[in-house]
Amino acid sequence: MSWLVSGTLNCLYRVRVSGTAHVPQSGPFILIANHGHVFDPLVIHRHVAPWVHWVTKRELFDNPVIRFVLRGVGTIPFNRESLDVAALRTIIRVVKEDGVVGIFPQGGRVVPEDRDRVLPKEATAHLARRFKLPIVPVAVANEFRLFGKTRPHLIFGPPFTTDTLSLNDEAAAVQMMRVVYALMDQPYCPDYEVPQA
């Protein structure tokens, strides 16, 4: 069902895709992306060969219908307000089974004008470092508008590891998002003073 929905979205919005050769054909790895629209995980998912277990906010599971769908596609609920041990255990199990975890490091959806105001969660960098996982960046450029003048554009970048990043997880998370935004030639300059290692 998810393939049918994602395929329909790709056709309706005439999604352009670049850099799929960078995506490994098997896991484990972490997929990171910016997040501006509810369709993002669906259209990305279609262009990644391994199944992607997306990490999403736990509140979405309050609706029984949405919960049924999300559980059916292997989505991992995550409590953004506190340390979610159960979610972390699930993520660890997925990567140990050579699976793929999809994460939007900035948390929820971020509109373009708020891009620099939202600091990414350091847990993504910590997870990648702890399990020595490759990180595959993908940028979602342009908006999803039917019959719009611009088409949504997925841009996959080369995998990288935390070996190239700061030893400080918060700084490393910012560096990871800079890689994502650089794929669509956009700077990422948070309004915060990020601690350096």
pTM summary value: 0.86
- The answer to whether the bond into 28 is cis (omega within 30° of 0) is yes
Whole-Å CA distances, 136 to 114, 125, 152, 171, 175: 23, 12, 19, 18, 13
Higher pLDDT, 180 or 49: 180
Residue bearing tokens 């307000």: 81
Mean pLDDT along residues 136-157: 84
Q: How is domain 2-182 classified at the architecture level of CATH? A: 3-Layer(aba) Sandwich (3.40)
Kindly indicate the confidence band of residue 4, based on its pLDDT and cuts at 50, 70 and 90.
low
Kindly indicate the confidence band of residue 196, based on its pLDDT and cuts at 50, 70 and 90.
low
Residue 177 pLDDT exceeds 70: yes
Q: What is the per-residue pLDDT across 110-137, written as a single tens digit (0 to 9) for each? A: 988 899 999 998 888 988 998 899 999 9
pLDDT value, residue 9: 58
Which of 164, 35, 19 has its CA nearest to residue 103?
Answer: 35
Residue 3 pLDDT exceeds 60: no
Residue 72 pLDDT exceeds 70: no
Angle (deg, nearest 10), helices 123-130 and 85-96: 40
Q: Hey, how many other C-beta atoms are within 10 angstroms of the C-beta on 10?
A: 19
